[in-house]
Structure 1
């Protein structure tokens, strides 16, 4: 019998979403995930299958719990400062062009024209805002 899981899967997925949003999929190694999430490498592979498996779970969590609620509740004037859009933005630019599953997830959210507006506002803010090394 294996050892009981020493981490909360939902917390790891949420933390991974933040990490992928800041550094992108290709900017994070499995070693980075292990160090930042506090999950042993074997546990990561056992639960999520791969770095990509964790990424897909994190992306879906972000879309369901952060992005879609913004479509209905957010004031457009504040969207430029909404870091909850960062993983979607990174996924659309970095992963969707080369990963059909990511492209489907991103595409499903982009069918709502408000999403494109939200991403445009967030992208403009990230480009024009002075940076102090943190993601806004």
Structure 2
């Protein structure tokens, strides 16, 4: 019979969301995981199988804890500017990094990212009563604003021109 875990798996996965959301996947070493998460290397492999296994769990946790509340909030968006503000104020760091960096190289990550982005598009389309194409364009604009940094200024500037769209 093995020893009981000396760590809370839920806390470790949430901490991994923060770590992977702040650095590219290849910029996070197993040593970084061990020191940042406070988990022994053997425990990390025994519990999560691999760095990739932990990454996938962290991505799925991020989608549940951070993207799902965004989808719920988008239901109440009254116009494109409100939807844009909701998306740009959400913590989507890991989703953005996964989209740009991991999805092109990892089919499973690509599937998770594609589903999450489609859900955001659909939530915007449903809330605003706009076409799927326009909703996808609004999502892309919001994510682009997040990538550029300082989303508040860009969101305000773009929101001033969105009324004719919705």
- TM bin, normalised by shorter chain, reads 0.7 to 0.9
**Contact 1:79–1:121 (Cα < 8 Å) also in 2:** yes
Q: Is 1:129 matched with 2:150?
A: yes
Instruction: Select the structure of larger CA radius of gyration.
Output: 2
**Contact 2:12–2:37 (Cα < 8 Å) also in 1:** yes
Provide structure 1 residue ranges, at least 5 long, that are not aligned to the other structure.
131-136
Aligned match of 1:60: 60
CA separation in 2, counterparts of 1:73 and 1:86? Answer: 18
- TM-score between the two structures when normalised by the length of structure 2: 0.70
Sort the Cα spacing of 1:6 and 1:108 in 2 relative to 1 into closer, same or farther, 3 A: same
- Note the 1:14-33 alignment, pairs <5 A: 14-33=14-33
Aligned match of 1:9: 9
Aligned match of 1:134: none
**Contact 2:67–2:92 (Cα < 8 Å) also in 1:** yes
Q: Deviations over 1:43-76 (max 9, x none)?
A: 0000000000000000001111210220121553
Q: Deviations over 1:6-57 (max 9, x none)?
A: 0000010011011100012111000000000000000000000000000000
Aligned match of 2:89: 81
CA separation in 2, counterparts of 1:111 and 1:64? Answer: 15
**Contact 2:17–2:59 (Cα < 8 Å) also in 1:** yes
The structural deviation recorded for 1:123 is 3.6
CA separation in 1, counterparts of 2:141 and 2:47? Answer: 35
Provide structure 2 residue ranges, at least 5 long, that are not aligned to the other structure.
75-81, 125-134, 152-166
- How many residues are treated as equivalent by the alignment? 129
CA separation in 1, counterparts of 2:139 and 2:6? Answer: 37
CA separation in 1, counterparts of 2:16 and 2:94? Answer: 10
